């Protein structure tokens, strides 16, 4: 008994110390001491931020989204019967074409309802990821830069590289055209437009314009996205019940 109580006495100061230090950490990290608790969610959230990292690891000062992290999560979402819907949050500057297309194809082939929200920016390869969801939203202030696919760094064999990039660009264009309401001509017009970007060809499409062009389904934020995903979940439940009957 004595030993036990002594032990407790010994531990208490330590615990208090760790409690106060974790409190300080929380304030440093979040600017607040406690966050609200919530019940189990049937909707999962996938955030795609910073650069979409491809086959080469980017230096640590870059904020990146790695496909090797996201692809297994997407499979887990598809497999878990408790998860009924997925919300994708996008704030990306673009990145690796093949990694971005891999994510887009995974999201578009998930059987559960998916809704995406473009916040801040969904540039370059962020465009196919945004349109890959069943329904896409963009906040009014968000922008999407549409420009030709290109390569930085060393180029070996210009004609071959050009053809390779051209093919890669066609894959992006085809994906976007197939998964959104934009016409191929319109998307190409935006991609190769001159005079919109100061040092480049392409177009910077702002929230409402993206909806006008048919690229994104609607202007809206979290509230609209959650309403939509719940509506899609209810539709799917209804369909399943009909099949059973």
Partner 1 sequence: MILYTPLSENDVFPTNETDYTNRQCVSYNGKSCYVEQTENGEYRILQLLSTDPKDFLDMSYTPGNIIK
Residue 106 neighbours by CB under 8 Å, 6+ apart: 70, 71, 74
In the residue annotation, 123 being an active-site residue is answered as: no
Q: In degrees, to the nearest 5, what angle opens at C-alpha 191 toward C-alphas 210 and 181?
A: 40
Segment holding 23, helix H or strand E = helix 2-30
Binding stretches for partner 1 (CB under 8 A):
22, 25-26, 28-30, 34-41, 43-46, 57, 59-60, 69, 73, 76-77, 86, 152-155
CA distance 36 to 145: 36
**CB of residue 43 vs partner 1: minimum separation in angstroms?**
7
**CB of residue 98 vs partner 1: minimum separation in angstroms?**
18
**CB of residue 168 vs partner 1: minimum separation in angstroms?**
18
Nearest to 88 by CA among 25, 46, 58, 128: 46
Q: Which is nearer to partner 1, 96 or 144 (CB)?
A: 96
Q: Which is nearer to partner 1, 206 or 233 (CB)?
A: 233
In the residue annotation, 69 being an active-site residue is answered as: no
CA distance readout (Å), 219 to 138, 143, 176, 205, 226: 5, 12, 18, 13, 13
CA distance 49 to 32: 23
CA distance 74 to 207: 27
**Out of 124, 132, 136, 180, which one is annotated catalytic?**
124
Burial of residue 38 (number of CB atoms within 10 Å: 0-12, 13-18, 19+): exposed
Tokens linked to 115: 């809704």
**CB of residue 225 vs partner 1: minimum separation in angstroms?**
13
**CB of residue 62 vs partner 1: minimum separation in angstroms?**
10
Q: Which is nearer to partner 1, 19 or 240 (CB)?
A: 19
Q: Which is nearer to partner 1, 164 or 170 (CB)?
A: 164
CA distance 196 to 202: 7
Q: Which is nearer to partner 1, 73 or 208 (CB)?
A: 73
Could you tell me which residues are beta bridge partners of residue 51? 64, 94
**Out of 104, 116, 123, 147, which one is annotated catalytic?**
147
Query: Which residues are tagged catalytic?
Result: 124, 147
């Amino acid at each position: 008994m004595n030993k036990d109580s002594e032990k407790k006495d010994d531990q208490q100061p330590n615990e208090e110390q760790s409690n106060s230090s974790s409190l300080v950490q929380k304030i440093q990290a979040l600017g607040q001491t406690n966050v609200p608790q919530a019940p189990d969610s049937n909707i999962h959230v996938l955030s795609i931020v910073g650069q979409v990292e491809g086959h080469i690891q980017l230096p640590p000062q870059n904020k990146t989204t790695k496909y090797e992290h996201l692809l297994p999560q997407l499979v887990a979402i598809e497999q878990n019967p408790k998860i009924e819907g997925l919300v994708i949050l996008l704030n990306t500057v673009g990145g690796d074409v093949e990694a971005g297309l891999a994510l887009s194809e995974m999201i578009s082939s998930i059987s559960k309802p998916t809704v995406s929200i473009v916040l801040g920016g969904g540039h370059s390869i962020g465009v196919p990821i945004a349109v890959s969801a069943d329904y896409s939203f963009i906040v009014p202030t968000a922008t999407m830069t549409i420009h030709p696919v290109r390569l930085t760094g060393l180029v070996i064999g210009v004609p071959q590289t050009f053809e390779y990039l051209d093919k890669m660009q066609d894959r992006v264009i085809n994906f976007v055209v197939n998964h959104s309401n934009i016409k191929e001509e319109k998307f190409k017009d935006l991609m190769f437009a001159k005079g919109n970007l100061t040092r480049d060809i392409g177009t910077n499409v702002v929230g409402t314009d993206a909806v006008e062009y048919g690229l994104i389904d609607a202007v809206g934020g979290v509230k609209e996205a959650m309403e939509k995903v719940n509506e899609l979940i209810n539709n799917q439940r209804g369909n399943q019940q009909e099949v059973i009957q």
